[in-house]
Amino acid sequence: MRVLIIRLSALGDIVHALPLAENARRAGATVGWACEDRFRVLLEDNPNIDELFVADTRRWRRNPVATGVRRQLRDLTDALAAFAPDWTIDAQGLWKSAFLARAARAPVAAFSFRERREPGSALLADHLVRPPEGVRHIVDKNLALLAPTGIPVRRRSPDARYLLARQDPEAAAFVAGQPVPYAVFHPGAGRPEKVWGADRLAAVARKLQDERGLSPVISWGPGDEPLAERMTKKLPEARRVPPLSLRGLARVVAGASLFVGGDTGPLHLADALGAPTLGLFGPHDRGRNEPSRNGPYRGTAVRYTASTSPDEVVRRALEVLERPRDPA
């Protein structure tokens, strides 16, 4: 059997879909995956993926009629068809993913209308899947997409430890100079309303340093620079992670005794690397961003309100630290 997975973005969502490839491979399938160019590093060393197909939908949207864009799109759709899958799994549920899934010319298993961000795109699927009643987490919902293919689910937890197979000199140098044990704190998020606050997170880091000797490390991504700078001012002894590839970030995160952050890609990456994780979900995290749906799959999620104190988050962090480390 040959299986093509369409999950183009983003970091956390791709991590949540990793068990699709692992279970397909365990069943003996040859696996292909289509993703955005900026996330190829997350998948190119995955031992469960035989062929990686790279899209650049950002470029397509900027200038959809450009000759280069038309050629790139044609080359990609030709490559998907040449892969000749027996099944295509659209794990994204958008028009762009549905279009690429259909281009592979195989039966498409995809989420039903109610489970998609762009419901109309379900018209391009052949087998619409509605996850069983009571299934909440997106990882388990994704795995329901295997049902039409007949592939059994033998492994549920996302596993990204393959990212550690290759060395990243800059990340290795950072880790070598980092006092241990250490905790990684990620103050940023994709949207402003999902940010708990750099000052509060700094207070948590300070208390964990005092009570458990955890040296604070500040993680950040594009657009997070002001928050990282504010945390640095509150914690002058903390080290900020340098600009790293996803592989390098994985190396730093995997060595942490704790990762604390909001509903962000790095949180889910840390969880898939087996690091103890504490996810912070605010009052705006409802529906598709509920902790029960999008929280760390192995780790712990805490919902905060305007009155949640750093002491309360520290208490939950200490509970996470007391548990035996759950390997990925």
- With a cut of 50, which residues of the chain have pLDDT below it? none
The pLDDT assigned to 207 comes to 98
Residue 320 Cα to chain centre, angstroms: 20
The pLDDT assigned to 208 comes to 98
- Cβ burial 74-110 (10 Å sphere, 16+ → b, else e): eebbebbeebebebbbbbbbbebbbebbbbbebbbbb
The pLDDT assigned to 65 comes to 58
Q: What is the pLDDT of residues 285-325, one digit of tens each?
A: 666 678 889 999 999 999 998 899 999 999 999 999 998 87
Following DSSP, what letter does each residue of 154-219 receive, concatenated? ---S---GGGGSS--HHHHHHHHTS-SSEEEEE---SSGGG---HHHHHHHHHHHHHHH--EEEE-
pTM: 0.95
Extract the tokens encoding 65. 């009629």
Which among 285, 305, 306 has a CA at the least distance from the CA of 294?
285
**Cβ 139 vs Cβ 158: under 8 Å:** yes
Handedness of CA 210, 291, 132, 149 (dihedral sign): negative
The pLDDT assigned to 287 comes to 64
The pLDDT assigned to 68 comes to 78
Go through the domains of the chain in sequence order and give each one's CATH number.
2-156 (3.40.50.2000), 166-322 (3.40.50.2000)
238 vs 27: CA distance, rounded Å: 46
163 vs 252: CA distance, rounded Å: 11
The pLDDT assigned to 327 comes to 58
Cis peptide before 10 (omega within 30 of 0): yes
